[in-house]
Structure formats: C-alpha cells, structure tokens
Amino acid sequence: MSTINPFLSAMSQLKKAEQVTVNNKQLTGKQKAALQQKIDRLKQPQRVVNVTIPVIMDDGSQQIFQGYRVQFNNSRGPYKGGIRYHHNVSLDEVKALSFWMAMKCAVADLPLGGGKGGIIVDPKMLSVGELERLSRGYGEAIADIIGPDTDVPAPDVNTNGIIMGWMVDEFLKTQRKKAKLFGKTLTKRDEMKLKSTFTGKAIKDGGSEGREEATGLGGLFVLQAILKKLRLKGKLTAAVQGFGNVGYNIVKFLDEAGITVVAVSDSKGGIYVPDGINPALTLECKKKNGYLAGCYCSGSVCDLKKGKQVTNDALLELPVDILVPAALENAVTQENAGKIKAKVVLEMANGPTTPEADVILYKKGVPVIPDILSNSGGVTVSAFEWEQNLKGQHWTKAQVNKKLAHKMAAAAEAVWQASVAHKTDLRTAAFIVALGRILKAMK
Ligand code: NAD
C-alpha cells in the first residue's frame, strides 16, 4: 500500500463538508465566521502524547519502542479510539485515525469524542512475553491521560482483548497506587468502573457480548440499509481485502446474509473461489498453513480445484458487486480506482480510499459507503461496553445486537438523507452530519 499521508487525506475530506457547512445561505456573516473558527480548531488535535517504552527482550537486551496517543477532540464526550501495533505507525497516521474517530462517534451519535494510539512495532517479531511487557509498558505510559471520563482506548490492528487485559491491569495498578497515596482503597465497584477505561476487553475482564464481531455486523447493517436505498438486490457477490478481525467477520456476515464472497486476502496475498468461500473453513485453513494460498474452501470442503491465488491488487479489480477494503489505509488510489468494477464500495478499514480515488469513483457512479459510517459498529459496541461497566450491568448478545442494529440504521439514514439534501457523495454527507453534531457541542 502507498505512503500517501493519511492526515492530509483526512483534512481534504473535511474540506468539502466544511464548505457546505460554512456556505449555508441561512447564516449571517457573523455566524459563518464563528463556525469557521470552530472548524479551524477541529483541524488540529487537542493533545498529542509521545511515549517511549523500554522493553527487556527475552535475550536480556533492551529495546526502546516509540508510541503515541492522540486526543483529537472531546466536545461530545471522552476521547475514544483504538491502539494500533504496526511497523508503519506514524504520528500523522495516528492523528488521522483519531480525527476519523471523532467524526465516526458523531455519525453514530455516541456521547464520545475521538482519540487513537499506536506503537511502531512489528508484533510478529516479538515473543508473547515481549508483547506483554510492551503492552504493559504502554498502558503504564498513558495511564495519567486516560480514564472512564477522559479517554477510552480499545483494540485496533494487531491488538486484541488479551492485550487490552494487560493494559487494564497496569492501569488499575497505577490507580490503586494513587488511591493509597490519599489513604483510600479501591472497592470492587470502583475497579469495575475504572475497567471501563478500556473497551474490547475479554468477557471475563468486563468485556461486552458481541464486541469482537461488532464492526463486521455493523458493516452488514449499514450495507443492507444503503443497498435498499440504491435498489441494488438479487444475487450479489463481494471481494474482501483483509482477513483479520474486521475482514473475517464481514466475510462471515455477508455469507450469512446470502452475499457470495468470492475473494479474500491478507498481507501475504489472496484467494479467488468463484463458488463462494466458506469463512470458518478458510480461517481454520489459514491458521494451520499461516497463509491463505491453497485455502480454497467452499461448501463443506477445501479443494485445490475450487479456486486460485490472486494478488491484493488483482482482488480490488475483480468483477464483483461489492468491494470491501478491510485492511489498512490507501488501498484504493488514483492508480487503481479507474479499474474497479464493483458497483459499490463498503469501507470497513479506516481511510482505505484516497481523496483522488474518491473523485474517480464518484465520476464512475460507484457509491463509496464511508469508513466513518460503515465501520462504526465497533465503536458503537465499545460505547455499550463502557456504559455496561459504568452501570455495573452485563447485557445479552441479543440485547447488544438489537441496540447495534438500531444505531446503525439511524446513522445510515442520517447520512443518506444528508446526501440527498446536499446532492453530494456519501462521504461528504457523513462528514456534514458529524460536523454539524460536533459544532453544536463545541464551546
Ligand atoms: P487485524 O490486525 O485484525 O487485521 C488486519 C488484516 O489486514 C490482516 O488480515 C492483515 O493480514 C491484513 N493486511 C495487512 N496489510 C495488508 C495489505 N497490504 N494487503 C492486504 N491485507 C493486509 O485488524 P482489524 O482490527 O481487522 O482492522 C482492520 C481495519 O479495520 C483497520 O483499518 C482498522 O483501523 C479498522 N477498524 C477496526 C475496528 C475493530 O473493531 N477492530 C473497528 C473499526 C475499524
């Protein structure tokens, strides 16, 4: 994937919604100027924290890792956003991701702002012990700037419930120490409330039912709502780039909804199975082999005759109805956008389409369902987890999924209506909705 600066892409996306918002003919000059001042404040994060994390490696040597936590905007509530482990993490990437989180939480109408964290590391090069020490180190390093009413992190690329568990543990240690300083002891109830500082936790640590698959399920709900508006029905096919948490789950839910997923890929390449892949068998095969090639699993068997290998680039250009980028930023660029044959793009990754590619797809008449709407199911169930911990409740999966369906339908409807009202693409519409809600909350 290319090295296009994601923060510049994010700001360029904001520009179009900014113009629509500020150029509202019903506003006076003074009102326009006041709005512009607020929007200008939204172009920079409120706080950027740089951390260095020393880790003693298994061979006794020390390695110092670089990490970030960016707190973009908290006008609507505590900062909220995941923590990414990747060798390409950069400050501009974390800034972009935290900005998108602020917009996403507003589109989903959650009482939360936007934040994001990251560590520059290839976690595949670490042992489990080294990964644990790094995660605990990061948890301790950011402990002073997070909390249930301040900043609520979660998993992102290459992080999961186990890693959240280590971080929660470190965070609680610092909070117990602080309480002791004032002669206090934390009760079990205090600790449960403090655990709401992290979401995406394992169920045993206070996690929510349905969180792991929430981004994928939310994506399906949004897709179904928009397909209805587009009047796109019948036997549909899809290709999905990425086969991690989000990629696997969207493949599973598309398949369950009767949409045939003919191709899927990960960082090592992809597979094309014209009869439609079996998600569970493909995952099992990939886990066994370590890669997708040869995992041509369809129906109830995996058979080499059922499929062939495809590159990540070729996957994006397959003749399918729905293209789902679910890996990293900048997958769809001005180089390949013209070659995309899909009728609709469902952005499950954050920032997978560059602004130049957006223009090409718009001209081609290919609607792009934007990330800040499509993948907002994850943060929505994270918000449910936060709420459950704060209230000392535990909701059933059926309760969680019902609330998620309701939130996603409302968000998709708001974005669709804004696109109709302003005669614009879905991304600009989503930004208009988010911007309106954030500006209303800003002082
Ligand atoms: P993950 O680490 O579980 O999976 C990432 C997947 O992308 C892996 O299959 C990896 O092999 C693949 N990948 C990496 N580089 C690739 C490349 N160059 N080409 C093709 N595939 C590649 O991460 P995830 O949680 O599934 O996150 C995926 C995307 O979804 C990210 O953009 C993330 O920010 C976004 N997202 C995640 C969540 C969540 O709840 N986890 C919520 C909203 C958005």
CB atoms within 10 A of CB 351: 25
For residue range 94-138, what is the model confidence (pLDDT) as tens digits?
999 999 999 999 999 999 999 999 999 999 999 999 999 999 999
Are the beta carbons of 100 and 371 closer than 8 angstroms? yes
Active site residues: 116
For residue range 65-97, what is the model confidence (pLDDT) as tens digits?
999 999 999 999 999 999 999 999 999 999 999
For residue range 340-387, what is the model confidence (pLDDT) as tens digits?
999 999 999 999 999 999 999 999 999 999 999 999 999 999 999 999
Q: Does pLDDT of 224 surpass 70?
A: yes
Report the distance separating Cα 167 and Cα 197, nearest Å: 10
Claim to verify: residue 110 and residue 258 sit in the same structural domain: no
Strands 237-241 and 322-325: parallel
Atom index in ligand 1 nearest the CA of residue 376 equals 43
Claim to verify: residue 277 and residue 341 sit in the same structural domain: yes
Report the distance separating Cα 387 and Cα 415, nearest Å: 25
Last residue of a domain, one of 162, 193, 224: 193
Token look-up 């100027």 returns 33
Counting ligand 1 atoms within 8 A of each CB, the residue from 104, 122, 198, 328 with the most, and so the one to mutate, is 328
Per-residue pLDDT, 2: 53
Report the distance separating Cα 223 and Cα 347, nearest Å: 10
Claim to verify: residue 22 and residue 113 sit in the same structural domain: no
Q: Does pLDDT of 1 surpass 70?
A: no
Residue 26: φ, ψ to 5°: -80, -10
Q: Does pLDDT of 195 surpass 80?
A: yes
User: 109 CA distance to ligand 1 centroid (A)?
Assistant: 24
pTM metric for this prediction: 0.96
Range of the domain at 334: 214-374
Residue nearest to atom 42 of ligand 1 (CA): 378
User: 325 CA distance to ligand 1 centroid (A)?
Assistant: 9
Q: Does pLDDT of 205 surpass 70?
A: yes
Claim to verify: residue 159 and residue 255 sit in the same structural domain: no
Claim to verify: residue 114 and residue 241 sit in the same structural domain: no
Structure tokens at 279: 């998600």
For residue range 164-188, what is the model confidence (pLDDT) as tens digits?
999 999 999 999 999 999 999 999 9
Beta bridge partners of 346: 369
Domain-embedded: residue 243: yes
Question: In 3-state terms, the chain is what percent helix, strand and coil (to 5)?
Answer: 50, 15, 30
